[in-house]
Amino acid sequence: MPIIDHIDVSEEVSDALASRHAVVALESTIITHGMPFPQNLETALAVEAHVRGTGAIPATIAIMDGRLKVGVAGKRLEHLAERNEEASKASRRDVASTLVKGGLAGTTVATTMQIAAAVGIEVFATGGIGGVHRGAEETLDISADLAELSRTPVAVVCAGAKSILDIGKTLEVLESNGVPVLGYGTDEFPAFFTRNSGFPVDHRFDDVADIAKVIVMQNDLRMGGILVANPIPHADAMNEEEIEIIIQKAIKEAEAQGVNRKDLTPYLLKRIFELSEGKSLTANVALITNNAKVAGEIALAICAQR
């Protein structure tokens, strides 16, 4: 039985795809593991509004009631946000078990890409991708997002890799897996809360139409996914030295408490929120809504080409 048989697509998203209208996939771990309620619901609605503002249709993806859901909205979105503490975090390795158990789960970048590709969605907006964790030379903690980007034909618009990661090693793994990293209006790969990481992107483009052309070409060639790096707006970026001090403190606390594997990223993001007195949440909302807007514009540009 193919994956599509396990997917429920909302009427709005189904109609948009059938008419070849622009659709943007949205992940749900930002709802279940990225923010507390009600900020998670407010952010999810704001992200959808920014996609709609471009003329594209948002498609939030999650696992609910033993089904892969595409286009979670309304009361179902509220339910997901309210029950966030009960939800698991589903990456590729967790999907089958979560479906069998009939559980509630937020989908990671990797899983969202997989489901989006199955229904024909080519563009996906997230906050930041997972990657190589600091100290991975000992822990081998590398996100499944990177491997998924190498094989799944979806363009991921992000504000770089999460600042808690080893960005240099993350880019090395992307390069080894043949994943092109495009900078939208930037020569430098952004670092989630900040605009700069000190590492270059592979190619810079200043027009969404040109990025759309690359995505179409990449998909025509069947060469896997693309990472579109879109820096957090200047006004919302955090101070690089300040956030690094906070991240180092959070990582040391995680090590002391033995937090690792799939629990590590949610723990660190929550602790960074606490240590930054909420500044990180403000930045997170700003960057994800900005990514949603750019993703919508790219999706429209792809439709215009076709």
For residue 244, report the phi and psi dihedrals to the nearest 5 degrees: -65, -40
Dihedral of CA atoms 253, 190, 111, 305 in degrees, nearest 10, equals 170
Q: For residue 16, what are its two tokens?
A: 């948009």
| Amino acid found at 121 | I
Is 48 in the active site? Answer: no
Is 155 within 8 Å of 40 (Cβ atoms)? Answer: no
Inter-residue contact 198 to 120 (CB < 8 Å): no
- The verdict on whether 101 is a catalytic residue reads no
The residue annotated as part of the active site, out of 162, 279, 293, 297, is: 162
- Cα separation, 246 vs 110, whole angstroms: 27
The answer to whether the CB of 155 falls within 8 A of the CB of 225 is yes
Looking only at Cα atoms, what is the longest distance across the chain? 53
Rounded to an integer, what distance in angstroms lies between the CA atom of residue 122 and that of residue 189? 22
**Residues assigned a catalytic role:** 27, 162
